[in-house]
Amino acid sequence: MKVYFFGVEGWEKLHIERKLREKNVSGEFFFFKEALDINNVDKAKDADIISVFIYSKLTPEVIDRIPHLKLIITRSSGYDHIDVEYALKKGIKVAHIPGYGNNTVAEYTFALILSLARKMKPMIENTSRGIFTREGLMGIDIMGKTIGIVGTGRIGSHVARIAYGFGMKILAYDRSKNRELIEKYNVEYVGLEELLSRSDIVTVHLPYNRATHFLINRFNIKLMKLDAMLINTSRGEVVELDAIVEALKEGRLAGGVGLDTIETEITVEEELMKKTGLRALKLKKAAEAKYLLSQANVIVSPHVAYYTKDASERILDMTVDNIQKFITEGEVITPVPET
């Protein structure tokens, strides 16, 4: 079988090749640094298996241009960049990599929380310019504060464990209650509106789908405390970007905002510098992102919450395992859930 990997860095290619050799996986393997989309899909027109990352866009048009495609595997837990329904209808299996970075993303969530609580962004900016002053740098303790966890799946559960260690009060919102979290960490499950209104810190850990689109929005964000903190390390479209900007301009979310992903994941400077073909909506989103970057109490990172050597290697290893099982048995280890 012909297997094409897109969005692969140099070290990832070496790691994958080593794992393929160790497991004696047969086939032809091709690697590309760029993401896969309609503009370069012809490079993989004879592929049997495609492996991608979140920046690839597997629309029906892209899928149709790969006539022999049998398996799509994304090297991520999320798969909203793939038209899964269309692929499955065509008899193409779709796999993802769940659980690779549960503790990894949870740890990064607290890196953002602590950085905002102790004013790390303005402190670092000051000292890098030789300004050694405490003015404007008074922080807060997180011990005793109430954290609201939106989504208590694999990652959210780790967040609860860490929060308990910090001596925080823990609220949670989810469709189903995790009894272990209730018993071990005194987690209290409440409705979303109550969580927003009672929490000092709100952190979001949900997949992106129709039900979670703008779950945090310009209406319910007004329920949050004026000095609350908002963290999103899940998917950008779960939290409405307009709502965050509006809240900050009104003096709300004074505790700070930590975003590892934002709506549409815009490359700000690139969008602002384009002179032709720029849609008004994307320009508006780019301007909003630019505003966020300029705020002392806002930290925006380039989707790196998962990005550690340990987690990345787990992704690659599980990807190879899925490919091997598919080639030998026609099945995958971690198929995406069918809706």
Q: What is the pLDDT of residues 234-264, one digit of tens each?
A: 999 999 999 999 999 999 999 999 999 887 5
Task: Using CA atoms of 266, 270, 275, 278 in order, give the dihedral in degrees to the nearest 10.
Answer: -10
Query: Would you say residue 279 has pLDDT above 90?
Result: no
- Catalytic, 235? Answer yes
Residue 265: the pLDDT is 52
Interval 226-236 mean pLDDT: 96
Percent of the chain scoring above 90 in pLDDT: 86
> Given 65, 265, 313, 314, which residue is catalytic?
265
Task: Using CA atoms of 287, 288, 291, 297 in order, give the dihedral in degrees to the nearest 10.
Answer: -160
- Catalytic, 271? Answer no
Full set of structural domains in the chain with CATH: 2-100+308-329 (3.40.50.720), 102-300 (3.40.50.720)
**Segment 36-70, tens digit of pLDDT:** 999 999 999 999 999 999 999 999 999 999 999 99
Per-chain mean pLDDT for the chain: 93
Segments of 7-104 assigned E as strands: 28-32, 49-52, 71-74, 93-95
Residue 271: the pLDDT is 42
The answer to whether the CB of 334 falls within 8 A of the CB of 322 is yes
If we measure between CA atoms, which residue out of 244, 258, 306, 290 comes closest to residue 105? Answer: 306
Query: Would you say residue 9 has pLDDT above 80?
Result: yes
Interval 21-46 mean pLDDT: 97
Pairing of strands 146-150, 93-95: unpaired
Residue 272: the pLDDT is 44
Length of the chain: 339
Residue 338: the pLDDT is 75
> Given 158, 235, 263, 271, which residue is catalytic?
235
Residue 339: the pLDDT is 62
**R_g (Cα) of the chain, nearest Å:** 21
Model confidence at 286, in pLDDT bands (50, 70, 90)? confident
The answer to whether the CB of 87 falls within 8 A of the CB of 94 is yes
- Catalytic, 240? Answer no
Between CA 81 and CA 16 the distance in angstroms is: 22
The answer to whether the CB of 224 falls within 8 A of the CB of 199 is yes
Give the phi and the psi of residue 30 in degrees, each rounded to 5: -130, 140
